[in-house]
Amino acid sequence: MKKHILCLLLFLIGFSAKSEIWLPSILSDNMVLQQNSKAMIWGWSTQTTEKIVVTGSWNNQAVETKVHQGKWSLELPTPSHGGPYTISIKGHQEIVLENILIGEVWLCSGQSNMQWSANNGFDNAEEEVKAANYPNIRFFTVPRHGAITPQDDAPGQWSACTPETMRDFSAVGYFFGRELKEKLDIPVGLINSSWGGTPVEIWSPANSVKNPELLKEASLEIAENSWYDRSPGFAYNAMIHPLAPFTIAGYLWYQGESNRQNADYYYKTFPMLIESWREEWGNPNLPFYYVQIAPFDYENNNSEDIAPAIVRDAQLKTMDVLDHTGMVVTNDIGNLKNIHPGNKQEVGRRLALWALAKTYGLSDIDPSGPTFKSMEIRKNKALVTFEHTGGELQAKGKEIKEFYIAGEDHRFFPAKAKIKGDMVELSSKEVKKPVAVRFAFSDIALPNLFGKNGLPASAFRTDNWELE
């Protein structure tokens, strides 16, 4: 009898040692929670029916929930920005998260130009590293990895911005966050989940997009390779889905170069990604600000290569089909010999302009350069009107470059361009009756048209002809 009692005690001791509450990696010391929100807090427990009590030190008001089938979640109301605070998560054991800030949280994603860090090198990188002492900017980086099914957790840890941590973090994300910190004087949390060389398809949930078959069809146009699986959802499952409960202010996206392989699909696959992410976060209005890919000589000085221009056009048109989106144009800060342009500071700043203007309501900022509005044909001239000019178009240089016009034969010729307020007048001796205009529509186009705010005009086309 004593032997049986001893065995039972040993069993209970062993069970107790394994009994625990745990959290996803994204919920940890040093994190930033979204201000003025109902921040999602969640985790797991080996006690299948226990009560979980979560308390934030900013008001010491407890919020309760119960474990269901080993998982629990609740919404924790957050105040305006501030900190540091602690958060207590208590069940049959207690977890205390420390050095928590309340501020603005943004998810940064895409391929290598978002992944790029000071370790990879950019303009004035070492000077920027030395100056990167911002304890109220916090970083979380998701390691590059994929999965064939959606995962519950992704490894990583929050850290304060120091020269050592900034060196490894997304440069674009950092410069965006620094601009927000300086302009708004609030803590900023930045989550970097990006992977060089990846196409949009693997960042989209395979089955919950609007058109799963189209997504799969598009993925088959991507060449197989050794560093990622081209299947839809491969990066999403491991690097986005585990983050989705975490409350954020919005998304930053820098990607598209890899979709040169199936550029025509990008008109649909990119908006599908945005809609699917918003659906995953349960908020159809979450801001999604992104970078239009920069000029680069993909095809050895081949001005006829328009696949990158198709991607840019799809990126431009996404703003027309989805609200709460904004695009940064980079055709003035690209590098035809380097697919990773060095001026990451300006990319981050331009992304921040969108957030400051559209998310944080600074009405004196127009975050956009000139974009195509309309075209009118007058005899042998095409008159193109732009929006977001600030009342004045500007050309840097004696001649306005990269405008082309075509007649009914679909043959495009370089156009002579004249600025007239917010309009550009185009003509060509080779085109007597113009019907279509294209601007900066090739991989190596380096246009020089800007708005009064100094931001460049986006590439565009007025035709819907089949692209060859």
Mean pLDDT, range 204-225, rounded to an integer: 96
pLDDT at 172: 98
pLDDT tens digits, one per residue of 316-375: 999 999 999 999 999 999 999 999 999 999 999 999 999 999 999 998 999 999 999 999
Q: What percent of the chain is predicted at pLDDT more than 90?
A: 92
Residues in the chain: 468
Query: Would the pLDDT of 91 be above 50?
Result: yes
Task: For Cα atoms 266, 272, 276, give the angle at the middle one, nearest 5 degrees.
Answer: 150
The encoded tokens of residue 327 equal 């695009």
pLDDT at 305: 74
pLDDT at 18: 63
Report how far residue 55's alpha carbon sits from residue 77's, in angstroms, rounded to the nearest whole number.
10
Domain locations in the chain as residue ranges? 18-101, 103-359, 371-461
- Cα atoms in the 13 Å half-sphere on the side-chain side of 438: 22
Closest CA to 170 of 113, 235, 130: 113
Three-class DSSP category at 33? strand
Q: Which CATH number fits domain 103-359: 3.40.190.10, 3.90.1200.10, 3.30.360.10, 3.40.50.1110?
A: 3.40.50.1110
Q: In 198-256, which residue ranges form alpha helices assigned H by DSSP?
A: 212-219, 234-239
Query: Would the pLDDT of 6 be above 60?
Result: no
Preceding omega of 84 cis (within 30 degrees of 0) = yes
Distances in Å between the Cα of 212 and the Cα atoms of 148, 221, 233, 267, 280 are 15, 15, 10, 15, 15
pLDDT at 300: 74
pLDDT tens digits, one per residue of 139-188: 999 999 999 999 999 999 999 999 999 999 999 999 999 999 999 999 99
Which amino acid, residue 47?
Answer: Q
9 pLDDT band, cuts 50/70/90, is: very low
Report how far residue 350's alpha carbon sits from residue 21's, in angstroms, rounded to the nearest whole number.
42
pLDDT tens digits, one per residue of 239-253: 999 999 999 999 999
The encoded tokens of residue 330 equal 């980079």
Helix 344-354 × helix 171-184 angle, to 10°: 50
Report how far residue 146's alpha carbon sits from residue 443's, in angstroms, rounded to the nearest whole number.
30
Rounded to a whole number of angstroms, the CA Rg of the chain reads 25
Number of helices followed by number of strands (H, E) in the chain: 10, 24
- Domain pair 18-101 / 103-359, same fold: no
- The correct answer on CATH 2.60.40.10 for the domain covering 18-101 is yes
299 pLDDT band, cuts 50/70/90, is: confident
Which amino acid, residue 46?
Answer: T
pTM beyond 0.85: the answer is yes
- E-strand ranges in 111-153 read 134-141
